[in-house]
């Protein structure tokens, strides 16, 4: 792991910082995105934002493919257009064990730069759209639980505490986490 790299977890205030735009597209940036992808794959996540590893810059990595071999890196991502509403069941590596439904835009038009700094524009829907929105939120210091009422959040936490007491076994199957 790179120096200073740690996976920050709620309620760490550093997750609430607004990340700075990337201006230098150098080797360090490439190295950071590689390390982030490694952490994301190891954690079975489908996305990770730089501020989650204590690097408050506007860089996100994701892979929403079933084969887990289509990594994507977006630098300075920006939603140009959004359309529709969809329910999305989400979790986050920075908010362990909480999983809940939030509303996202169904479709997005994303503009960003790739790791070399060239401009890209992508239309996305489904999982890619949702994942990009979740990760861009991280860049703005927002977490998915911010969309949930505090009452519901408390209920979720209680439920999790209860489940932990009832069983120490891990659930069967693989859960794909949006991190």
Active site residues: 135
Contact pick of 40, 72, 92, 130 for Zn ion (by CB under 5 A):
92
Identify residues 94-123 at the interface with Zn ion (CB under 5 A). none
Minimum distance of Zn ion from residue 15's CB (angstroms): 9
Minimum distance of Zn ion from residue 35's CB (angstroms): 17
Write the CB contacts of 92 (distance below 8 Å, at least 6 apart in sequence): 10, 98, 134, 143, 144, 145, 177, 178, 179
Please give the size of the binding site for Zn ion, defined by CB under 5 A.
1
Neighbour count for residue 152 (Cβ, 10 Å): 13
- Residue number with CB closer to Zn ion (103 or 118): 103
Minimum distance of Zn ion from residue 148's CB (angstroms): 14
Based on the shown chain and the rule CB under 5 A, indicate whether residue 145 belongs to the binding site for Zn ion: no
Minimum distance of Zn ion from residue 92's CB (angstroms): 3
Cα atoms found within 13 Å of the Cα of residue 115, Cβ hemisphere only = 16
Contact assessment for residue 62 and residue 48, using Cβ atoms and an 8 Å cutoff: yes
- Residue number with CB closer to Zn ion (32 or 136): 136
- DSSP code for 139: H
- Region from 13-21, 74-82, 89-97, 151-159 binding Zn ion, contact rule CB under 5 A: 89-97
- Residue number with CB closer to Zn ion (89 or 118): 89
- Region from 91-99, 100-108, 122-130, 147-155 binding Zn ion, contact rule CB under 5 A: 91-99
Distance between CA atoms of 58 and 73, rounded to whole angstroms? 11
Residues in the chain, overall count: 179
Ordered DSSP codes for 64-83:
--TTS---EEEEEEEEEEEE
Based on the shown chain and the rule CB under 5 A, indicate whether residue 32 belongs to the binding site for Zn ion: no
Tokens of 81: 């257009």
List of residues contacting Zn ion (CB under 5 A): 92
């Amino acid at each position: 792991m790179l120096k200073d790299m740690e996976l920050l977890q709620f309620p760490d205030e550093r997750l609430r910082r607004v990340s700075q735009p990337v201006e230098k597209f150098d080797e360090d940036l490439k190295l950071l995105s590689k390390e982030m992808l490694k952490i994301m794959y190891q954690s079975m996540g489908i996305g990770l934002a730089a501020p989650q590893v204590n690097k408050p810059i506007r860089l996100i990595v994701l892979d929403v493919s079933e084969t887990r071999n289509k990594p994507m890196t977006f630098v300075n991502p920006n939603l140009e257009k959004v359309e529709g509403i969809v329910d999305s069941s989400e979790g986050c590596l920075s908010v362990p064990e909480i999983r809940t439904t939030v509303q996202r835009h169904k479709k997005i038009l994303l503009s960003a730069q790739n790791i070399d700094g060239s401009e890209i524009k992508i239309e996305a829907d489904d999982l890619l759209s949702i994942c990009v929105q979740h990760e861009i939120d991280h860049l703005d210091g927002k977490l998915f639980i911010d969309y949930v009422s505090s009452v519901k959040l408390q209920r979720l936490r209680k439920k999790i505490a209860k489940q932990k007491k009832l069983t120490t076994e891990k659930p069967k199957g693989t859960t794909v986490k949006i991190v």
